């Protein structure tokens, strides 16, 4: 959050790659002489577990929620849920209107 609060958004839009690299260099300088892992998730469990001094999970695949195929599948599911929500709301409101109309029809002695 602090990164985004302190950055010039116009500069990010114009020079995003450079701002990103400068930020990474700042983090490296601040972490110098400290325990620090520069890690790419493409490397999987091994470097992360070694750094944390934890065993590599043998029965747990490395999470890959941001891979394109997984992301697209999740996006399709989300779109279906949104569409279903629209359908439910339409049915709810049109159904309520129909029920109210029928109730008025009955209450007024079916003289409509």
Q: Where are the domains of the chain?
A: 64-112
Residue 34: both structure tokens together: 């400290």
47 Cβ contact partners less than 8 Å away, ≥ 6 residues apart: 37, 39
Please write the tens of the pLDDT for every residue from 18-69. Answer: 878 888 899 999 998 888 899 988 899 999 999 999 999 999 888 876 667 7
pTM higher than 0.85 = no
**φ, ψ dihedrals at 41, nearest 5°:** -60, -20
What percent of the chain shows pLDDT beyond 70? Answer: 83
pLDDT at 26: 92
| DSSP string for 36-104 | -----GGG-HHHHHHHHT-PPPSSSPPP-TTSHHHHHHHHHHHHHHHHHHHHHHHHHHHHHHHHHHHHH
pLDDT at 3: 55
Average pLDDT, the chain: 80
**SS3 of 111, please?**
coil
């Amino acid at each position: 959050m602090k990164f985004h609060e302190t950055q010039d958004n116009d500069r990010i839009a114009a020079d995003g790659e450079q701002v990103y690299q400068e930020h990474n260099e700042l983090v490296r300088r601040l972490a110098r002489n400290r325990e620090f892992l520069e890690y790419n998730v493409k490397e999987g469990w091994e470097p992360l577990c070694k750094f944390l001094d934890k065993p590599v999970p043998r029965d747990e695949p490395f999470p890959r929620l941001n891979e394109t195929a997984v992301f697209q599948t999740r996006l399709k599911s989300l779109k279906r849920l949104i569409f279903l929500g629209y359908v439910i709301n339409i049915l709810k409101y049109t159904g309520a209107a129909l029920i109210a109309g029928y109730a008025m029809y009955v209450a007024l002695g079916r003289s409509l």
